[in-house]
Amino acid sequence: MLKSDFHMHTTLSTDGKSDMADMIHSAASMGLQSICFTEHNDYDNPIGETPDFFVVDTDAYYARYCELKNIEPDLDVYFGVELGISQDNHEYFNEYTKKYPFDFIIGSSHYVGNLDPYTKEYYDSFESEEAAHLKYFETELECAKLFDTFDVYGHLDYALRYGPTRDLSFTYKKYADILDELLKTLISKGKGIEINSAGFRKGMIGPNPAESIIKRYKELGGEIITVGSDAHHISELGADFDKAEAVLERCGFKYYTIFKERKPEFISL
């Protein structure tokens, strides 16, 4: 069974619902062996009124983490962050990530230009769902080339969660050129991906990214894959990890990855 949840948010994130101490106690009581907090830093988020609208107070976050990390003796608790990366904020993140002793950094595309795939407006601005997805993957490819300051790319097909047909009409083949280039870029830079189980509880048939993307990542030589619930509440911790594990096995993985001090460690399935 998967014992490490490496993607979660507490009330220190703008959209988090549960307190950090409650998350730690819940994770321990579920029998998890390790967790990593990955609070949001979407610096210069185009939706917010100020650039800091969706940015965790990292000093307060680190202080609270240090205070609580040992409260459950059988649970290893790590310090991470989820960066909302875009073509415009890589210099800011280069500096930001040097300032704190992160164990793990997720880079995620939450926006395409000024639009959020979460909104209907995003899909309405394209002539088809396919064109909207393609633009999302193109944005990720640009970011993957631009950034070095992350360990894994978060929920690689995030836009699919909010498209009119979710992942029902998605096939790898439709986007093979761009996705192959994206995956090869990540692999050549020593970056991994995550299997984000939130897809299952957001009305999709699979996780983010889709099983076909994870399979192709493995075929192309990808080794680093973390597992995260993207919990924003204690009830979502470790959610659908049985399904995520089955996906990993079907894709040929014999292990999954955790990070300590930005270095990958591999744990057998």
Positions in the binding site for Zn ion (CB under 5 A): 82, 108, 230
How far apart are alpha carbons 228 and 210 in whole angstroms? 14
Specify the residue, 119 or 174, whose C-beta has the smaller distance to Zn ion. 119
Specify the residue, 118 or 126, whose C-beta has the smaller distance to Zn ion. 118
Q: Which of 68, 58, 133 is nearest to 100 (CA)?
A: 58
Determine the Cα angle at 74 with ends 227 and 260, to 5°: 45
Query: Please, what sign has the CA dihedral across residues 64, 149, 143, 163?
Result: negative
Specify the residue, 6 or 252, whose C-beta has the smaller distance to Zn ion. 6
Which residues are CB-contacts of 50 (< 8 A; sequence separation ≥ 6)? none
Q: For residue 80, which phi and psi values (nearest 5 degrees)?
A: -135, -175
Specify the residue, 26 or 109, whose C-beta has the smaller distance to Zn ion. 109
Specify the residue, 14 or 220, whose C-beta has the smaller distance to Zn ion. 14
Work out how close the CB of 247 gets to Zn ion at its nearest, in angstroms, rounded to a whole number. Answer: 19
Contact between 19 and 9 (Cβ < 8 Å): no
Specify the residue, 180 or 202, whose C-beta has the smaller distance to Zn ion. 202
Work out how close the CB of 189 gets to Zn ion at its nearest, in angstroms, rounded to a whole number. Answer: 20
Contact between 247 and 204 (Cβ < 8 Å): no
Q: Determine the residue with CB nearest Zn ion.
A: 108
Work out how close the CB of 232 gets to Zn ion at its nearest, in angstroms, rounded to a whole number. Answer: 8
Q: For residue 83, which phi and psi values (nearest 5 degrees)?
A: -90, 130
Specify the residue, 211 or 230, whose C-beta has the smaller distance to Zn ion. 230
Work out how close the CB of 109 gets to Zn ion at its nearest, in angstroms, rounded to a whole number. Answer: 9
Query: Please, what sign has the CA dihedral across residues 5, 185, 126, 169?
Result: negative
Determine the Cα angle at 58 with ends 4 and 114, to 5°: 90
Determine the Cα angle at 90 with ends 38 and 34, to 5°: 15
Work out how close the CB of 47 gets to Zn ion at its nearest, in angstroms, rounded to a whole number. Answer: 14
Work out how close the CB of 82 gets to Zn ion at its nearest, in angstroms, rounded to a whole number. Answer: 5
Work out how close the CB of 40 gets to Zn ion at its nearest, in angstroms, rounded to a whole number. Answer: 7
- Residue 164: is it exposed, middle or buried by C-beta count within 10 angstroms (0-12/13-18/19+)? exposed
Q: Which of 100, 92, 103, 7 is nearest to 42 (CA)?
A: 92
Joined together, the tokens standing for residue 95 give 């500096």
